[in-house]
């Protein structure tokens, strides 16, 4: 496939400097690109590759210094967004949005026709298990009516357990479990742990993507809810009755404890940990490896364990770094004070 620079510039509303009739046949990273490739540059850290890149064309930020005459430039306000728009339109492999693999298990209750709870253009890949036999907790029957919306893509070996609901355009990657039992126990008079029945469900709204090996627990009562547009990375644990607000992003190895509510447009970076029964308002960013031990009611950036507003946490970090020097200084001051006291006693 060959695509002209003129067509690409029109797609991303870019300005061309160089040969607008040039055709490219592939896209590549700036350090790996060869003749015939299109690349992009948006971070200063990658500018070191510009003098040596073999790409035929490059997408750059408006005003970029064009120091080479052997390459065609496309200037845009956001090179990375422009580049990935091109990748999405021209270079993303088609995936057949239809079909259920014969090895997938789809449970249907006697009252439902085959596939009655599965929407249009749904892919359910090999080894998936959708629903399970109904089970009884203390005379309470859990419904097995899993509902899956339209245009969903479920990769291999995914489990979606009883009574859980997926909206439209949901992507779930391999090994993920939706609707595992919440971690709920009571200690009896013998100090033994007794399981608390987890009879709620999980609701995943439209345009959500779950990475591989994500575990989302069903609610004890009611629903664990992943709201529209959330993006969840690999190896994330979301406990029972958690609510994630719209367009919130959760990075790898993050854990969210039970009944915690996270607002809209939040970012939880890698290995963040949130205790249970707290609330994060909209537009909160938790940096990597931070521990959130209480509710955050003000938008902004937070870091550390316990997590604090980032400027406060950074000041504390500086002081911690200087603790050995502080200790030496305090010891010297204590010695000086002792000398002064001894001197006063002698007079």
Q: What number of other Cβ atoms are within 10 A of residue 1's Cβ?
A: 8
Burial of 202 (0-12, 13-18, 19+ CB in 10 A): buried
pLDDT computed for residue 298 by the predictor: 97
The DSSP secondary structure of 25-41, one letter per residue, reads -EE--TTT--TTEEEE-
Q: What is the pLDDT of residue 95?
A: 65
Q: What pLDDT shows up at residue 144? A: 65
Q: Which of 247, 245, 293, 292 is nearest to 272 (CA)?
A: 292
Residues of the chain with pLDDT under 50: 110-116, 133-142
Q: For the beta carbon of residue 309, count every other beta carbon within 10 angstroms.
A: 14
Domains of the chain: 3-91 (3.40.1390.10), 105-311 (2.160.10.10)
pLDDT at position 145, please? 81
State the pLDDT at residue 149.
Answer: 92
For position 98, what pLDDT does the model report? 63
Q: Which residues pair with 60 in a beta bridge?
A: 75
User: What pLDDT does 242 receive?
Assistant: 98
Residues marked as catalytic:
240
Place of tokens 């990075």: 251
- What's the pLDDT tens digit per position in 213-229? 999 999 999 999 999 99
**What is the predicted pLDDT for the residue at 97?**
53
3-state secondary structure (DSSP) of residue 319: helix
pLDDT given at position 132: 64
For residues 237 and 247, what is the distance between their CA atoms, to the nearest angstrom? Answer: 18
Write down the residue that tokens 């959500």 correspond to. 208
Q: What is the pLDDT of residue 278?
A: 98
pTM, to two decimals: 0.85
- The first and second tokens of residue 296, run together, are 């955050």
Give me the residues paired with residue 171 across strands: 153, 209
| Euclidean distance between CA atoms 314 and 304, whole angstroms | 9
Interatomic CA distance for residues 55 and 239, integer angstroms: 47
Tell me, rounded to whole angstroms, the distance of Cα 344 from its chain centroid.
Answer: 65
Per-residue pLDDT at 114: 43
For 194-203, how does the pLDDT look when each residue is reduced to its tens digit (9 = 90+)?
999 999 999 9
State residue 96's pLDDT score. Answer: 58
pLDDT value of position 113:
44
Provide CB contacts within 8 A for 3, sequence distance 6+: 23, 24, 25, 90
Q: How far apart are CA 224 and CA 242, in angstroms?
A: 5
Summarize pLDDT for 177-196 with one digit per residue, the tens. Answer: 999 999 999 999 999 999 99
Distance (Å, whole) CA 242 – CA 204: 12
Q: How high is the pLDDT of residue 153?
A: 94
pLDDT at position 73 is 97
DSSP letters for 169-208 = S-EE-TT-EEEEPP--EEE-TTS-EEEPP---EEEE-TT-
pLDDT of residue 138: 41
The pLDDT score that the predictor gives to residue 137 is 41
* Three-state DSSP class for residue 109: coil
């Amino acid at each position: 496939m060959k695509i002209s620079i003129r067509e690409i510039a029109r797609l991303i509303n870019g300005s061309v400097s160089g040969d607008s009739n040039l055709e490219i046949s592939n896209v590549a990273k700036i350090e790996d690109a060869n003749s015939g490739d299109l690349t992009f540059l948006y971070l200063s850290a990658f500018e070191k590759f510009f003098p040596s890149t073999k790409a035929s064309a490059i997408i750059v930020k408006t005003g970029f210094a064009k120091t080479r005459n052997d390459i065609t430039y496309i200037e845009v306000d956001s090179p990375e967004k422009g580049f990935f728009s091109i990748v999405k339109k021209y270079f993303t492999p088609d995936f057949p949005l239809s079909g259920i693999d014969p090895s997938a298990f789809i449970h249907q209750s006697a009252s439902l026709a085959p596939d009655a709870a599965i929407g249009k253009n749904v892919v359910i890949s090999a080894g998936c298990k959708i629903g399970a036999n109904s089970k009884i907790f203390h005379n309470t029957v859990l419904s097995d009516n899993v509902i899956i919306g339209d245009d969903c893509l479920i990769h291999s070996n995914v489990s979606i357990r009883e009574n859980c609901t997926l909206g439209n355009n949901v992507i779930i990657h391999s090994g993920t479990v939706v609707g595992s039992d919440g971690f709920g126990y009571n200690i009896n008079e013998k100090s033994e742990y007794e399981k608390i029945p987890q009879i709620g469900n999980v609701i995943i709204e439209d345009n959500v993507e779950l990475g591989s090996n994500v575990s989302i627990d069903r609610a004890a009562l009611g629903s664990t809810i992943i709201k529209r547009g959330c993006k969840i990375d690999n190896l994330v644990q979301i406990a029972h009755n958690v609510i994630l607000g719209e367009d919130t992003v959760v990075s790898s190895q993050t854990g969210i404890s039970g009944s915690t509510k996270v607002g809209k447009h939040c970012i939880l970076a890698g290995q963040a940990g949130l205790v249970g029964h707290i609330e994060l308002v909209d537009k909160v960013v938790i940096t990597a490896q931070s521990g959130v031990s209480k509710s955050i009611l003000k938008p902004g950036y937070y870091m550390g364990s316990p997590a604090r507003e980032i400027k406060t946490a950074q000041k504390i970090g500086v002081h911690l770094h200087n603790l050995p020097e502080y200790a030496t200084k305090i010891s010297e001051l204590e010695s000086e004070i002792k000398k002064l006291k001894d001197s006063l006693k002698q007079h």
